Amino acid sequence: TTTPYKSLTIAPYRTSLPEDEFKNSNKTIHDDKETRVSSRMDYEEKQRQSIINQQHESTLHRSKDFEQEFDYQLQKQKDEYESIIQRHLKFIDQLIDDKKKISHRCELLLSELKTIDRKYNDRMRSVEETHHNE
């Protein structure tokens, strides 16, 4: 009798797993998949949160810049208006002063005119009297 080769006597390699091993294998694969999906979702969430934080910081920075620029422009406009107001007030004061001077001058001229008129009337009376007496 001949003995068969050892390879022929060993049980053939199983191509299928028993049902329990198959379930455990599938569960492990499923758990690995869930872990990877969960890790990926966590990573993506962290990236989104990082982007949101950067955008928030950028928005705050732009907001501060805008506020500073607004305050600067407001102060500049206020200074310009105050300068204009001061110039107008100075002009008004000058007009009032000029009016006072003109009024005083008018009073002097009126007084002078009255004096001249009185002298003229006195002179005319004197001439009439002289003429009448002759």
- Residue matched to tokens 């979702």: 41
- How does 20-36 read in b/e, with b if 16+ C-beta sit within 10 Å? eeeeeeeeeeeeeeeee
Q: Is the pTM of this model over 0.75?
A: no
pLDDT level of residue 10 (50, 70, 90 thresholds): low
Q: What rounded mean pLDDT belongs to the chain?
A: 86
Chain centroid to Cα 76, Å, comes to 14
Number of neighbouring beta carbons within 10 Å of residue 121: 10
Q: How far is CA 29 from CA 1, 11, 25, 41, in A?
A: 49, 28, 6, 18
Q: Where are the domains of the chain?
A: 17-133
- Determine the 3-state secondary structure of 29 from DSSP: helix
Q: Residues near 16 by Cβ (< 8 Å), separated by ≥ 6?
A: 22
* Digit-coded pLDDT (tens) for 31-57: 777 888 888 899 999 999 999 999 999
